[in-house]
A and B are shown apart, each in its own frame.
Chain A
Amino acid sequence: MTTQATPRTQVNLAGLSRADYKGHNSTLCAGCGHNSISNQIIAALYELNVVPENVVKFSGIGCSSKSPTYFLNRSFGFNGLHGRMPSLALGALFADHTLKGIGISGDGDTASIGMGQFKHVMRRNLPMVYVVENNGVYGLTKGQFSATAEVGLELKRQGVNKYFPVDICMEALVSRASFVARSFAGDPKQVKEIFKAAFSHRGIAVIDIISPCVTFHNKEDSFHSYTWGKEHEIALHDITYVPAREEITVEDFEEGSTREVTLHDGATIVLKKLERDYDPTNIFEALRVLYEAEQNNWLLTGILYVNPDASTIFDMYNLPDTPLNRLPTEKLRPSRESLDQIMEQMKF
């Protein structure tokens, strides 16, 4: 009889196994783009050695917004209201500014009902990753047009879409988001690298991920389908995320073929040039390439814009190092004498 050694589970630098980053089993349709995104989030966080207790998850309402239950079971999460996730996240993150927020939204959740809160959380630069799982359709309510659906799109029972689509990345840029990227659920490697970069960014990091709805909206010729995406994706660059503690070795990259952006936590994103040389710190360029992509029917992916030094909402408040929700009660109630003083002033 031979004794089999139980293989030791592989752990990352945080001493955690991949299982520690898992969530419940997904109840979304098999093949749904949202599932592949959840998987990449798990992979990215595992590779980033993130401690799940240091993360809080948020979402609105939709198939996409269900996703936070499918990763990071060991993180707090709040599945809020349709289109109102940003305000919920903002309030919660003020309680402990050392926590990192991950918000998952849909194109309906963000670009229709939630457009107002979306734009305002950009301008406040709340430090969190804001993922839009963009399928051009309302999945959970069974296949109506969303605000990102292209003109002329035809959907069962809905007719033909007449309205011009919202470009979530453009909206994010003009609202002064400090990190804006677009990716494609059919390009998991890129999703993962972009997510890592976004997670290391200090400020709001918007990732608009084209994430096909296989049940209601996956016709080959429509913008948000797997087939169309695969055929029309044009990556701005090849992205490699290099964590703070690792050195970038020169031999990995040909000289002059890359651009590098150092993020706030010391990590670097190395962007390898593909067909063009793209500068992701230039907001005009970002808007220009988006417009160009729209004109040419490209699914343009990559890190469109990043400003690693933008001040965040927390810089605008004089917050203590101790998280607000850990302050003892004696720090919260002013003294008896101070009330006496106010009462004296109110005699006039």
Chain B
Amino acid sequence: MSQLLPASVRDNGTVGDRIVNDFCITFSTVNGSGSATANTILLKSLFRMGIPVNGKNIFPSNIQGLPTWYSIRLSKKGYLARVEMDHLVVAMNPATLATEMKFLVPGGVLFYPDDFKLDIERDDVVLYPMPVKRLVKEADAPQNLRDYMANMVYVGVVAQMLGIDLDVVYQVLDAHFKGKKKAVDSNWQVILAAANWAKENLVKCDPYYVEPMPPLEGYIITEGNVASALGAIYGGVQLTAWYPITPASSLAESVMEYLPSLRTDPDTGKATSVVIQAEDEIAAIGMAVGAGWAGLRAMTSTSGPGISLMAEYLGLAYFAEVPVVVWDVQRVGPSTGLPTRTAQGDLTFVNFISHGDTEYVILLPGNVKECFEFGWKSFDIAERLQTPVLILTDLDLGMNYHISPRFDYPDQPMDRGKVLWEEDLQKILEKLDGKWGRYLDVDGDGIPYRTVPGNRHPASAYFARGTGHDEMTRYSEDPDVWERGLNRLRKKIHNNLHLLPEPVIERLEGAKFAIVGFGSTDPAIQEARDLLAEAGFPTDYMRIRSLPFRDEVCGFLHEYDRTYVVELNRDGQLKQLLTMNFSECGSRLRQVSHIDGMPITANWIKERILLMEGK
């Protein structure tokens, strides 16, 4: 037998209780080796077996040769946050073995290529060596695909040892390669050989098992950036201008991928939406603002460094009242920071972005379903309010696979806002005795009517500008005009906060304090609340989904002596904004900041809150 049994197993000869569908397995590889396919196939196979799963990619800002980890958490209870420890490790990178050992639980499992020199001190680990080189060689894979095929070896071995249904693996493989027979076959051959080898040569002596669960009916699995892209497409996006940046690139790339099938006009065969890769983020936002001004549903997507560059244009869009949607898939800043790690550090910057008095509608999706939903709604809001809408996600939500209930088709028709075409303009001119002005608040809701270039009515044109202007768009430095204009801009947004997503509030019997969060921390907070409740501390929870804050936010904060604001930034940015807006609640807010660039865990939240509770 080629494997070594851990001391505990050797001594009493049992493997203890079976641990089913409730553990974490981490794959350690070097980036550029093509492990993403292998990991995704395992993840999706587990999902197809009905097991709630989440995959987290911890990768370097590099193209080839540096350590990468991929962790899959299985949770029959449906907890989908990261966990701190691994139960199983597949070590394909000898350079990081020592690191892996630090995170492997006692009694944990290590799969590794049998030509590794194992230099580990622990004797409480189940070891499963795998003849990776031999199996790859036998598969007769071409030289350039050997590293990649090595990953398929672990797919087979792990599937066999955990009990992952090989038929499901085949189905997923087939779907992954979109039925391309050659690719499916060559991968499948290796997976099958590896699974057979494991069946014949390894004796199961670890407690970790996978068992099918009732199908996750109505569920899908996808990445946030794909969901966001689809949301935009179903929201009718017509122009996407972007500049590549991790972790936002796959958002625009997904738009490009789906546009030909979804947005080619069947009557004319022509495109109803265009994507332009700009020369930088200033140009990207410039194109989007130009398009938004001219009546297109326009957007751009970026991350920290790019959003910094967009500041000036966003101020112009705010002031000239141009609808535009901007996605910020956050990564760790300041500066170039950690491009491949996750954070929520852009909130205050985005809230105040650009000089002078500005204010932005900010949407904060907390899961992939909301990425889709806010993706289409953002255009309705932007066009209704004639203002930029910023949507903040992050690397964890955007680039990792998440399971989710199916997306709902938009339940409201598109709201194009107060746009006047030729006939509309004629009517309104007649109604107002010719006194229409682009910035005139006719309805008293702070939202004027706008015309767009291409309107051929001789009275439609106006001159947009970032300089002072009156209701009729004339240049003006008049103090009263300026003040009036600025106040109307505020009124326009604040009168219409009901258009923004309300906070999600969840309560538990006997809660003495509350937790507030936003975005990708939701699964960890949900799980932490269960842990806290088990420890005797039931909590209430509010997940904020938009800014400026709606009234419900203020109401909720007033209910508690202590509210823990959990977020992924050093300075407690959400807490800062809450304190600024609701100063009377400021002293009751407690900052819980997680800033190491890794997705937050439930255990960390629980421990931190208990510590701050003095427990």
Contacts and interface: CB of A to CB of B under 8 A. Distances in A.
Interface of A: 51-54, 56-57, 68-69, 73-81, 84, 86-96, 98-99, 116-117, 120, 317-321, 323-327, 329, 331-334, 336, 338-339, 342-343, 345-348
B290 A77 contact: no
A325 B287 contact: no
B268 interface: yes
A68 B271 contact: no
A73 to B, nearest CB: 7
Given A73-B461, A87-B286, A88-B290, A332 B453 contact: no
A129 to B, nearest CB: 16
8 contacts: A52-B461, A68-B463, A75-B461, A79-B467, A116-B283, A318-B270, A332-B272, A347-B220
Given A80-B316, A320-B270, A339-B407, A92 B276 contact: no
A323 B463 CA distance: 21
Contacts of B312: 81, 84
Interface string B390-433: 00000000000000001101100110100000000000000000
B316 to A, nearest CB: 6
Interface stretch (B69-77, B231-239, B589-597, B602-610): B231-239
Contacts of A75: 461
A105 to B, nearest CB: 14
A57 B294 CA distance: 12
A345 B406 CA distance: 11
Given A116-B279, A120-B279, A331-B272, A87 B461 contact: no
Contacts of B261: 338
Contacts of A87: 241, 278, 282-287, 290
Interface stretch (B112-120, B125-133, B168-176, B530-538): B168-176
Contacts of B273: 332
Contacts of A342: 230, 258
B460 interface: yes
B274 A92 contact: no
B172 A334 contact: no
The list of the 10 closest CB pairs from A to B, nearest first, reads A87-B286, A91-B290, A332-B236, A95-B294, A96-B454, A325-B295, A91-B291, A346-B220, A91-B287, A320-B270
Given A78-B464, A81-B316, A339-B407, A95 B453 contact: yes
A68 B462 CA distance: 11
Contacts of A346: 220-222, 406
Nearest to B320: A78
Contacts of B233: 334
B349 interface: no
Contact of A324 (B235, B272, B465): B272
Contacts of A69: 463, 475
Nearest to B261: A338
Given A120-B279, A325-B296, A348-B176, A320 B268 contact: yes
Contacts of B286: 80-81, 84, 86-88, 90-91, 117
A249 B269 CA distance: 44
A325 B294 contact: yes
Nearest to B379: A332
Contacts of B475: 69
Contacts of A321: 268, 270
Interface of B: 44, 48, 171-172, 175-176, 219-222, 230, 233-236, 238-239, 241, 258, 261-265, 268-274, 276, 278-280, 282-298, 312-313, 316, 320, 376, 406-407, 409-410, 413-414, 416, 451-458, 460-467, 475
Contact of B289 (A52, A88, A120): A88
A325 B414 contact: no
Given A87-B278, A347-B221, A348-B175, 15 more contacts: A53-B458, A53-B460, A73-B461, A76-B453, A77-B461, A80-B316, A84-B283, A88-B286, A98-B454, A116-B283, A318-B271, A323-B454, A324-B238, A327-B265, A343-B406
Contacts of A319: 270-271, 274
Nearest to B315: A81
Nearest to A58: B290
Contact of A94 (B239, B263, B320): B239
Contact of A336 (B409, B414, B416, B462): B409
Contacts of B284: 87
B238 A86 contact: no
A56 B460 CA distance: 12
Contacts of B298: 91
A89 B176 contact: no
A96 B283 contact: no
A75 B464 CA distance: 11
B458 A91 contact: no
A131 to B, nearest CB: 17
A338 B262 contact: yes
A297 B407 CA distance: 67
A75 B291 CA distance: 17
A334 B264 CA distance: 9
A221 B243 CA distance: 45
Nearest to A116: B279
A338 B261 CA distance: 9
Contacts of A91: 239, 241, 286-294, 296, 298
Given A79-B467, A319-B271, A334-B233, A343 B220 contact: yes
Nearest to B235: A333
Residue of B48, B465, B467 most packed against chain A (CB within 10 A): B465
Contacts of B258: 342
Contacts of B285: 87
A79 B465 contact: yes
Contacts of A56: 294, 453
Given A73-B461, A87-B283, A79 B466 contact: yes
Contacts of A333: 234-236, 376, 410, 414
Residue of A57, A79, A92, A319 most packed against chain B (CB within 10 A): A92
Nearest to B404: A346
A323 B475 CA distance: 30
Contacts of B283: 84, 86-87, 116-117, 120
